[in-house]
Amino acid sequence: MPDEILIETIDQIGVARLNRPDKLNALNLATMTKLVDALERYDADPEIRCMLLAGDERAFAAGADINEMADATVVDMYLRNQFARWERIKRIQKPIVAAISGYCLGGGCELMMHCDIVIASENARFGQPEINIGVMPGAGGTQRLTRSAGKARAMDMVLTGHMISAHEALGMGLVSRVVPAEHWYREALNVSRELCTKSPLALRLAKESVLKAHETALSEGLEYERKLFYLLFATADQKEGMRAFLEKRPPVYLGK
Ligand code: COA
Protein backbone atom coordinates (compact mmCIF):
# COMPACT_ATOMS: atom_id res chain seq x y z
CA MET A 1 0.00 0.00 0.00
CA PRO A 2 1.50 3.40 -0.91
CA ASP A 3 2.01 5.85 1.94
CA GLU A 4 -0.24 8.73 0.89
CA ILE A 5 0.34 10.26 4.32
CA LEU A 6 3.66 10.37 6.19
CA ILE A 7 3.19 10.28 9.93
CA GLU A 8 5.77 11.38 12.45
CA THR A 9 5.74 12.52 16.06
CA ILE A 10 8.08 15.37 16.99
CA ASP A 11 8.07 15.84 20.75
CA GLN A 12 4.38 16.48 21.47
CA ILE A 13 3.50 17.43 17.89
CA GLY A 14 1.63 15.00 15.66
CA VAL A 15 2.89 15.61 12.13
CA ALA A 16 1.02 14.46 9.00
CA ARG A 17 2.49 15.14 5.56
CA LEU A 18 0.59 14.66 2.31
CA ASN A 19 2.72 12.42 0.11
CA ARG A 20 1.59 12.14 -3.50
CA PRO A 21 4.25 14.45 -4.95
CA ASP A 22 3.81 13.24 -8.55
CA LYS A 23 0.12 14.29 -8.35
CA LEU A 24 0.74 17.55 -6.50
CA ASN A 25 -0.77 15.87 -3.43
CA ALA A 26 -4.22 15.67 -5.03
CA LEU A 27 -6.62 14.47 -2.37
CA ASN A 28 -7.94 11.07 -3.41
CA LEU A 29 -10.22 9.05 -1.13
CA ALA A 30 -7.38 6.92 0.25
CA THR A 31 -5.40 10.05 1.19
CA MET A 32 -8.36 11.67 2.90
CA THR A 33 -9.21 8.48 4.79
CA LYS A 34 -5.64 8.05 6.04
CA LEU A 35 -5.34 11.73 6.89
CA VAL A 36 -8.53 11.83 8.93
CA ASP A 37 -7.62 8.57 10.71
CA ALA A 38 -4.22 10.05 11.62
CA LEU A 39 -5.66 13.32 12.89
CA GLU A 40 -8.22 11.47 15.02
CA ARG A 41 -5.49 9.25 16.48
CA TYR A 42 -3.46 12.34 17.40
CA ASP A 43 -6.56 13.97 18.86
CA ALA A 44 -7.11 10.97 21.14
CA ASP A 45 -3.44 10.62 22.16
CA PRO A 46 -2.78 12.35 25.51
CA GLU A 47 0.91 12.76 24.60
CA ILE A 48 0.06 14.95 21.58
CA ARG A 49 -0.73 18.63 22.13
CA CYS A 50 -1.12 19.91 18.58
CA MET A 51 -0.87 18.77 15.00
CA LEU A 52 1.14 19.93 12.04
CA LEU A 53 -0.23 19.33 8.55
CA ALA A 54 1.98 19.93 5.52
CA GLY A 55 2.46 19.03 1.90
CA ASP A 56 5.79 19.41 0.14
CA GLU A 57 7.61 22.33 -1.40
CA ARG A 58 5.76 22.20 -4.75
CA ALA A 59 2.26 21.72 -3.40
CA PHE A 60 0.25 21.57 -0.24
CA ALA A 61 -2.50 19.99 -2.34
CA ALA A 62 -3.81 20.77 -5.84
CA GLY A 63 -7.37 19.80 -4.98
CA ALA A 64 -9.56 16.74 -4.93
CA ASP A 65 -8.34 14.00 -7.26
CA ILE A 66 -9.99 14.73 -10.60
CA ASN A 67 -9.29 11.16 -11.79
CA GLU A 68 -11.65 9.82 -9.16
CA MET A 69 -14.47 12.20 -10.10
CA ALA A 70 -14.29 12.59 -13.88
CA ASP A 71 -16.70 9.75 -14.71
CA ALA A 72 -18.69 9.70 -11.48
CA THR A 73 -22.48 9.96 -11.58
CA VAL A 74 -24.42 11.91 -9.02
CA VAL A 75 -25.38 8.60 -7.38
CA ASP A 76 -21.70 7.55 -7.22
CA MET A 77 -20.85 10.86 -5.57
CA TYR A 78 -23.78 10.65 -3.15
CA LEU A 79 -22.97 7.09 -2.08
CA ARG A 80 -19.26 7.88 -1.80
CA ASN A 81 -20.21 10.41 0.89
CA GLN A 82 -16.72 11.91 0.77
CA PHE A 83 -17.72 14.91 2.85
CA ALA A 84 -18.25 12.70 5.91
CA ARG A 85 -14.45 12.69 6.24
CA TRP A 86 -14.40 16.49 6.23
CA GLU A 87 -17.00 16.54 8.99
CA ARG A 88 -14.61 14.45 11.05
CA ILE A 89 -11.81 17.01 10.54
CA LYS A 90 -14.19 19.69 11.76
CA ARG A 91 -14.55 17.76 15.02
CA ILE A 92 -10.78 17.63 15.78
CA GLN A 93 -10.35 19.44 19.09
CA LYS A 94 -6.59 20.05 19.23
CA PRO A 95 -5.13 22.88 17.17
CA ILE A 96 -3.93 22.08 13.67
CA VAL A 97 -1.09 24.17 12.25
CA ALA A 98 -0.85 24.13 8.44
CA ALA A 99 2.46 24.58 6.60
CA ILE A 100 1.77 25.67 3.03
CA SER A 101 4.21 25.86 0.15
CA GLY A 102 3.36 25.92 -3.56
CA TYR A 103 -0.13 25.09 -4.84
CA CYS A 104 -3.00 25.18 -2.39
CA LEU A 105 -6.03 24.75 -4.63
CA GLY A 106 -9.60 23.52 -4.54
CA GLY A 107 -9.91 20.85 -1.85
CA GLY A 108 -6.36 21.77 -0.78
CA CYS A 109 -7.49 25.32 -0.07
CA GLU A 110 -10.57 23.99 1.72
CA LEU A 111 -8.37 21.66 3.78
CA MET A 112 -6.16 24.62 4.67
CA MET A 113 -9.29 26.48 5.82
CA HIS A 114 -10.05 23.59 8.21
CA CYS A 115 -6.70 24.26 9.93
CA ASP A 116 -6.27 26.74 12.75
CA ILE A 117 -2.96 28.56 12.23
CA VAL A 118 -1.72 28.73 8.65
CA ILE A 119 1.92 29.44 7.84
CA ALA A 120 2.42 30.16 4.16
CA SER A 121 5.59 30.35 2.12
CA GLU A 122 5.82 33.52 0.09
CA ASN A 123 5.66 31.28 -3.01
CA ALA A 124 2.32 29.69 -2.04
CA ARG A 125 -0.59 30.06 -4.46
CA PHE A 126 -4.20 29.77 -3.36
CA GLY A 127 -7.33 29.26 -5.41
CA GLN A 128 -10.70 27.61 -5.88
CA PRO A 129 -10.35 26.59 -9.56
CA GLU A 130 -13.29 24.14 -9.61
CA ILE A 131 -15.18 26.48 -11.93
CA ASN A 132 -12.57 25.72 -14.60
CA ILE A 133 -13.57 22.05 -14.62
CA GLY A 134 -17.30 22.60 -14.59
CA VAL A 135 -18.03 22.32 -10.89
CA MET A 136 -17.77 24.45 -7.73
CA PRO A 137 -16.23 24.04 -4.28
CA GLY A 138 -17.95 21.34 -2.23
CA ALA A 139 -15.98 21.08 1.02
CA GLY A 140 -16.90 24.46 2.45
CA GLY A 141 -15.02 26.70 0.01
CA THR A 142 -17.89 29.04 -0.79
CA GLN A 143 -18.77 29.40 2.89
CA ARG A 144 -15.42 29.60 4.71
CA LEU A 145 -13.77 31.69 2.02
CA THR A 146 -16.65 34.19 2.08
CA ARG A 147 -16.56 34.45 5.86
CA SER A 148 -12.80 35.13 5.84
CA ALA A 149 -12.37 37.19 2.70
CA GLY A 150 -15.78 38.80 2.26
CA LYS A 151 -18.26 38.41 -0.59
CA ALA A 152 -16.46 40.44 -3.28
CA ARG A 153 -13.14 38.64 -3.05
CA ALA A 154 -14.70 35.20 -2.54
CA MET A 155 -16.86 35.72 -5.64
CA ASP A 156 -13.79 36.72 -7.64
CA MET A 157 -11.90 33.58 -6.63
CA VAL A 158 -14.82 31.16 -6.93
CA LEU A 159 -16.29 32.52 -10.19
CA THR A 160 -13.04 33.18 -12.08
CA GLY A 161 -10.94 30.38 -10.55
CA HIS A 162 -7.94 32.73 -10.51
CA MET A 163 -5.11 32.01 -8.11
CA ILE A 164 -3.91 34.54 -5.54
CA SER A 165 -0.50 35.02 -3.95
CA ALA A 166 0.42 34.36 -0.33
CA HIS A 167 0.48 38.08 0.43
CA GLU A 168 -3.00 38.50 -1.05
CA ALA A 169 -4.18 35.56 1.05
CA LEU A 170 -2.68 37.21 4.13
CA GLY A 171 -4.53 40.44 3.31
CA MET A 172 -7.78 38.47 3.09
CA GLY A 173 -7.29 36.79 6.44
CA LEU A 174 -6.94 33.39 4.80
CA VAL A 175 -3.49 32.69 6.25
CA SER A 176 -1.90 33.65 9.55
CA ARG A 177 1.67 34.45 8.48
CA VAL A 178 3.72 34.63 5.29
CA VAL A 179 7.37 33.66 5.60
CA PRO A 180 10.37 33.49 3.24
CA ALA A 181 10.25 30.35 1.10
CA GLU A 182 13.09 28.61 2.95
CA HIS A 183 11.29 28.89 6.31
CA TRP A 184 7.79 27.61 5.46
CA TYR A 185 8.14 24.31 7.33
CA ARG A 186 10.48 25.44 10.11
CA GLU A 187 8.22 28.36 11.05
CA ALA A 188 5.19 26.05 11.24
CA LEU A 189 7.19 23.69 13.44
CA ASN A 190 8.20 26.61 15.69
CA VAL A 191 4.58 27.71 16.04
CA SER A 192 3.61 24.11 16.86
CA ARG A 193 6.32 23.94 19.50
CA GLU A 194 5.03 27.19 20.98
CA LEU A 195 1.51 25.74 21.20
CA CYS A 196 2.93 22.76 23.10
CA THR A 197 3.93 25.12 25.92
CA LYS A 198 0.33 26.25 26.47
CA SER A 199 -2.39 24.66 28.55
CA PRO A 200 -3.84 21.89 26.35
CA LEU A 201 -7.33 22.43 27.74
CA ALA A 202 -7.23 26.18 27.21
CA LEU A 203 -6.02 25.57 23.63
CA ARG A 204 -8.95 23.30 22.85
CA LEU A 205 -11.60 25.53 24.33
CA ALA A 206 -10.08 28.65 22.74
CA LYS A 207 -10.12 26.89 19.34
CA GLU A 208 -13.73 25.85 19.86
CA SER A 209 -14.67 29.40 20.79
CA VAL A 210 -12.96 31.04 17.80
CA LEU A 211 -14.63 28.56 15.43
CA LYS A 212 -17.98 29.36 17.00
CA ALA A 213 -17.64 32.87 15.60
CA HIS A 214 -18.13 31.39 12.13
CA GLU A 215 -21.39 29.77 13.07
CA THR A 216 -23.32 32.09 15.33
CA ALA A 217 -24.59 35.61 15.70
CA LEU A 218 -22.24 37.83 17.73
CA SER A 219 -24.38 37.89 20.88
CA GLU A 220 -24.69 34.09 20.91
CA GLY A 221 -20.95 33.72 20.22
CA LEU A 222 -20.04 36.07 23.05
CA GLU A 223 -22.22 34.13 25.47
CA TYR A 224 -20.63 30.88 24.32
CA GLU A 225 -17.15 32.34 24.76
CA ARG A 226 -17.95 33.49 28.30
CA LYS A 227 -19.11 30.01 29.35
CA LEU A 228 -15.95 28.38 28.03
CA PHE A 229 -13.89 31.07 29.76
CA TYR A 230 -15.57 30.27 33.11
CA LEU A 231 -15.07 26.57 32.48
CA LEU A 232 -11.29 27.01 32.36
CA PHE A 233 -11.37 28.05 36.02
CA ALA A 234 -12.18 24.41 36.79
CA THR A 235 -8.73 23.38 35.50
CA ALA A 236 -5.48 22.95 37.37
CA ASP A 237 -3.72 24.51 34.38
CA GLN A 238 -5.50 27.83 34.96
CA LYS A 239 -4.27 27.86 38.57
CA GLU A 240 -0.78 26.91 37.46
CA GLY A 241 -0.67 29.49 34.63
CA MET A 242 -1.72 32.39 36.79
CA ARG A 243 0.34 31.34 39.80
CA ALA A 244 3.44 30.93 37.63
CA PHE A 245 2.92 34.43 36.26
CA LEU A 246 2.68 35.90 39.75
CA GLU A 247 5.69 33.88 40.92
CA LYS A 248 7.65 35.01 37.83
CA ARG A 249 8.45 31.47 36.62
CA PRO A 250 7.53 29.47 33.48
CA PRO A 251 4.30 27.46 33.86
CA VAL A 252 4.20 23.66 33.80
CA TYR A 253 0.91 22.53 32.26
CA LEU A 254 -0.39 19.01 32.84
CA GLY A 255 -3.55 19.17 30.78
CA LYS A 256 -5.71 18.73 33.90
N1 COA B 1 -6.35 15.76 -9.45
C2 COA B 1 -5.65 14.79 -10.04
N3 COA B 1 -4.42 14.97 -10.55
C4 COA B 1 -3.88 16.19 -10.44
C5 COA B 1 -4.55 17.27 -9.85
C6 COA B 1 -5.84 17.02 -9.32
N7 COA B 1 -6.57 17.96 -8.70
N8 COA B 1 -3.77 18.37 -9.90
C9 COA B 1 -2.62 17.99 -10.51
N10 COA B 1 -2.69 16.67 -10.85
C11 COA B 1 -1.67 15.87 -11.51
C12 COA B 1 -1.59 16.16 -13.01
O13 COA B 1 -2.60 15.45 -13.71
C14 COA B 1 -0.21 15.68 -13.32
O15 COA B 1 -0.23 14.28 -13.37
P16 COA B 1 0.55 13.51 -14.60
O17 COA B 1 2.00 13.92 -14.45
O18 COA B 1 0.31 12.05 -14.31
O19 COA B 1 -0.06 14.01 -15.86
C20 COA B 1 0.56 16.05 -12.05
O21 COA B 1 -0.38 16.21 -11.02
C22 COA B 1 1.32 17.36 -12.19
O23 COA B 1 0.41 18.36 -12.61
P24 COA B 1 0.64 19.31 -13.89
O25 COA B 1 -0.72 19.79 -14.32
O26 COA B 1 1.44 18.58 -14.93
O27 COA B 1 1.50 20.47 -13.24
P28 COA B 1 1.60 22.00 -13.71
O29 COA B 1 2.70 22.57 -12.90
O30 COA B 1 1.63 22.10 -15.19
O31 COA B 1 0.18 22.64 -13.24
C32 COA B 1 -1.64 23.08 -11.70
C33 COA B 1 -0.13 22.74 -11.87
C34 COA B 1 -1.93 23.01 -10.22
C35 COA B 1 -1.92 24.46 -12.25
C36 COA B 1 -2.48 22.04 -12.47
O37 COA B 1 -2.05 20.74 -12.12
C38 COA B 1 -3.96 22.10 -12.18
O39 COA B 1 -4.65 22.98 -12.68
N40 COA B 1 -4.49 21.13 -11.38
C41 COA B 1 -5.90 21.03 -11.09
C42 COA B 1 -6.34 22.00 -10.04
C43 COA B 1 -7.83 21.88 -9.80
O44 COA B 1 -8.64 22.08 -10.67
N45 COA B 1 -8.20 21.56 -8.54
C46 COA B 1 -9.57 21.43 -8.15
C47 COA B 1 -10.02 20.04 -8.33
S48 COA B 1 -11.76 19.83 -7.91
Domain ranges of the chain: 5-195, 200-246
CATH number of 5-195: 3.90.226.10
Give 229's pLDDT tier (boundaries 50, 70, 90).
confident
Range with the poorest average pLDDT among 44-48, 153-157, 242-246: 242-246
- At 87, which helix (H) or strand (E)? helix 83-90
Secondary structure (3-state) at 164: strand
| Best mutation site among 4, 23, 65, 130 for ligand 1 pocket (most ligand atoms within 8 Å of CB) | 23
Give strand pairing partners of 59.
Answer: 103
Taking CA atoms only, the protein residue closest to ligand 1 atom 28 is 24
Binding site membership of 252 for ligand 1 (Cβ less than 6 Å): no
- The CA distance from 126 to 129, in Å, is 9
Answer yes or no: is the C-beta of 130 below 6 A from any ligand 1 atom.
yes
Domain 200-246: CATH class, spelled out: mainly alpha
245 pLDDT more than 80:
yes
pLDDT band of residue 71 (cuts 50, 70, 90) is: very high
| Inter-residue contact 129 to 160 (CB < 8 Å) | no
Residue 178 has pLDDT above 70, yes or no: yes
The CB of 66 under 6 Å from ligand 1? The reply is yes
Confidence of residue 146 (pLDDT cuts 50, 70, 90): very high
pLDDT, position 102:
98
Angle between the 151-160 and 141-149 helix axes, to the nearest 10 degrees? 140
The mean pLDDT of the chain is: 95
Active site residue 220: no
Q: Lowest-pLDDT range, 60-69, 155-164, 217-226?
A: 217-226
pLDDT tier for residue 230 given thresholds of 50, 70 and 90:
confident
* Cα–Cα dist 155/109, whole Å: 15
pLDDT score recorded for residue 1:
64
Give the position, in ligand 1's atom list, of the atom nearest the Cα of 106.
Answer: 46
Provide the pLDDT confidence category of residue 221 given band limits of 50, 70 and 90. Answer: confident
Q: Is the CB of 60 under 6 A from ligand 1?
A: no
Kindly state if the Cβ of 169 falls inside 6 Å of ligand 1.
Answer: no
Q: What is d(CA 173, CA 83) in angstroms, rounded to the nearest whole number?
A: 24
Q: Report pLDDT digits (tens) over 112-128.
A: 999 999 999 999 999 99
Point out the catalytic residue in the list 64, 124, 139, 166.
64
**pLDDT of 2 strictly over 80:** no
pLDDT digits (tens, 9 = 90+) for 53-65: 999 999 999 999 9
Weakest mean pLDDT among 90-99, 100-109, 180-189, 238-247: 238-247
Query: Is the pTM above the cut of 0.85?
Result: yes
